[in-house]
């Protein structure tokens, strides 16, 4: 009887649950918010208009308050050879309306675009857009970088494009002759990098040349003062593989402009090395290795002595101030002591030069790739030293310090 009673209770519970579910199914569902769907459609139309260079279609969704600025940016894009342009909607936040019949939202979207013939992957950046609905139609009233994101070059002025054999240089507020000279230096950098880095890479580079140091800071979304004295930087996503967002070399026109021809070539070869090695650079790669390897490629075959290429470290060693160990990541921070920063770069370069000289260039590239392939920073260098160079961190540090004494003492 107890068993029968339990079965009856279970049947009753099942019937009650079924009834509740049926009642729930009969309840009117919450109406779906149509705004995200409508906003996606607006962004898709916006993207198609940019690619088609259709100013009339681009203007349709612009609020009159934004139209002059947005149309100017649209015109600034004219010389940029776009292959793709699109938005991915990430979030929609309702703000309410100012007047009857209006609805306002703030949208976070990822903008991605590719430059035809140069980008194997897209450039991605976050944008924040303000939209207002009036009489059933949405209009864009604001468009700005997301938190931590930088401006795009065409937001700073009319873009002039110079195509090299292996490079594309995009500049704002720069003489055409200067852009052509940068393209020529970038064209020389690409084969120099390929000769030192035998792994497969795109074999081409896109260089951005803003009008000033302040404009460079705007592109990077960082204080311009942090890059004072830095001739160029490379943006990109480390360890992303072939589908990673595309790299950009950004030139500081102030610092780059005071360099001679040799110095400018070193800078562009160094930055192009970062583009080539990006897929094999990861969070496991210490900065001394990534920056030192880029300098090693840039100086490779130049005939420059260690004292000529590492003047700050040369002075320190001659004064008896031999570094105790390889520079840590913090030593490479921009905006601090310029001489200490130079010594860090020089120390990393000489570490890579030591590996190339004692173990061979093939071992240096294998060491770089092995470090980058390690799953975490801890143990990455140690494992590569053992597996690739058959040495230990202690022995390598001693060899590096001896190398500094020999070359710089």
CATH 3.10.450.50 fits 35-149, yes or no: yes
pLDDT of residue 95: 82
Domain segments of the chain as ranges: 35-149, 152-279, 282-409
| Cα–Cα distance, 314 to 323 (Å, whole number) | 11
Tokens encoding 146:
């997301």
| Cα–Cα distance, 269 to 346 (Å, whole number) | 16
Question: 0.85 cut: is pTM over it?
Answer: yes
Residues 6 or more apart whose CB falls under 8 angstroms from that of 8 comprise none
Q: What is the CATH number of domain 152-279?
A: 3.30.2010.30
One fold for 35-149 and 152-279: no
| Cα–Cα distance, 331 to 139 (Å, whole number) | 48
Range list of H helices, 278-318: 287-299, 306-309, 311-318
Sign of CA dihedral 329, 314, 258, 276: negative
Tokens encoding 211:
């009008």
pLDDT of residue 8: 39
pLDDT of residue 99: 57
Alpha carbon 180 to its chain's center: 24
| Cα–Cα distance, 249 to 240 (Å, whole number) | 17
| Cα–Cα distance, 376 to 285 (Å, whole number) | 9
Cα–Cα–Cα angle for 204, 210, 214, rounded to 5 degrees: 135
Match 């310090």 to its residue by tokens: 401
- How many Cβ atoms sit within 10 Å of the Cβ of residue 136? 8
pLDDT of residue 246: 86
Tokens encoding 362:
């093939």
| Cα–Cα distance, 154 to 167 (Å, whole number) | 19
pLDDT of residue 34: 58
Say if strands 159-163 and 167-172 run parallel, antiparallel, or are unpaired. antiparallel
pLDDT of residue 96: 67
Task: Note down pLDDT in tens along the chain; length 409 residues.
Answer: 334 444 433 333 333 333 333 333 444 444 446 578 999 999 999 999 999 999 999 999 999 999 999 999 999 999 999 999 999 999 999 886 555 567 899 999 999 999 999 998 899 999 999 999 988 899 999 999 999 899 999 999 999 999 999 999 999 999 999 999 999 999 999 999 999 999 999 999 999 999 999 999 999 999 998 899 899 999 987 766 656 778 999 999 999 999 999 999 999 999 999 999 999 999 999 999 999 999 999 999 999 999 999 999 999 999 999 999 999 999 998 877 889 999 999 999 999 999 999 999 999 999 999 999 999 999 999 999 999 999 999 999 999 999 999 999 8
| Cα–Cα distance, 384 to 371 (Å, whole number) | 6
The DSSP string of 94-126 is: EEE-SSTTEEEEEEEEEEEEEETTT-SS-EEEE
3-state secondary structure of 81: coil
Specify whether the CB–CB gap between 73 and 80 falls below 8 A.
no
- Closest by Cα among 274, 255, 119, 118 to 189: 274
- How many Cβ atoms sit within 10 Å of the Cβ of residue 236? 18
């Amino acid at each position: 009887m107890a068993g029968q009673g339990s079965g009856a209770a279970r049947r009753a519970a099942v019937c009650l649950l079924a009834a509740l579910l049926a009642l729930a199914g009969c309840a009117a569902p919450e109406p779906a918010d149509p705004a995200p769907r409508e906003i996606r459609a607006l962004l898709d139309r916006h993207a198609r208009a940019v690619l088609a260079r259709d100013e009339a279609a681009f203007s349709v969704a612009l609020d009159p308050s934004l139209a002059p600025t947005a149309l100017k940016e649209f015109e600034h894009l004219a010389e940029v050879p776009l292959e793709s342009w699109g938005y991915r909607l990430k979030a929609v936040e309702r703000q309410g309306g100012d007047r009857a019949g209006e609805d306002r939202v703030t949208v976070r979207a990822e903008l991605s675009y590719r430059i035809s013939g140069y980008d194997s992957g897209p450039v991605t950046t976050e944008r924040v857009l303000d939209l207002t609905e009036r009489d059933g139609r949405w209009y864009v009233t604001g468009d700005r970088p997301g938190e931590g994101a930088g401006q795009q070059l065409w937001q700073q002025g009319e873009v002039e494009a110079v195509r090299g054999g292996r490079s594309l240089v995009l500049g704002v507020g720069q003489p055409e002759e200067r852009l052509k000279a940068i393209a020529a230096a970038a064209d020389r950098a690409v084969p120099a990098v390929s000769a030192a880095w035998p792994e497969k890479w795109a074999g081409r580079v896109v260089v951005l040349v803003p009008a000033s140091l302040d404009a460079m800071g705007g592109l990077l979304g960082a204080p311009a003062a942090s890059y004072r004295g830095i001739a160029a930087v490379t943006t990109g996503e480390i360890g992303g593989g072939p589908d990673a967002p595309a790299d950009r070399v950004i030139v500081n026109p102030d610092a780059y402009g005071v360099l001679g021809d040799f110095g400018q070539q070193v800078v562009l070869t160094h930055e192009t090395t970062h583009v080539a090695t990006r897929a094999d650079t990861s969070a496991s790669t210490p900065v001394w290795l990534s920056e030192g390897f880029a300098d090693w490629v840039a100086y490779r075959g130049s005939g420059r002595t260690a004292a000529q290429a590492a003047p700050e470290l040369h002075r320190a060693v001659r004064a008896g101030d031999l570094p105790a160990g390889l520079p840590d990541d913090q030593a490479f921070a921009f905006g601090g002591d310029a001489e200490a920063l130079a010594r860090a770069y020089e120390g990393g370069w000489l570490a890579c030069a030591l590996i190339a000289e004692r173990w061979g260039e093939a071992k240096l590239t294998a060491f770089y790739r092995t470090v980058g392939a390690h799953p975490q920073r801890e143990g990455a260098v140690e494992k590569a030293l053992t597996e690739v160079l058959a040495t230990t961190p202690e022995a390598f540090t001693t060899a590096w310090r001896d190398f500094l004494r020999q070359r710089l003492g």
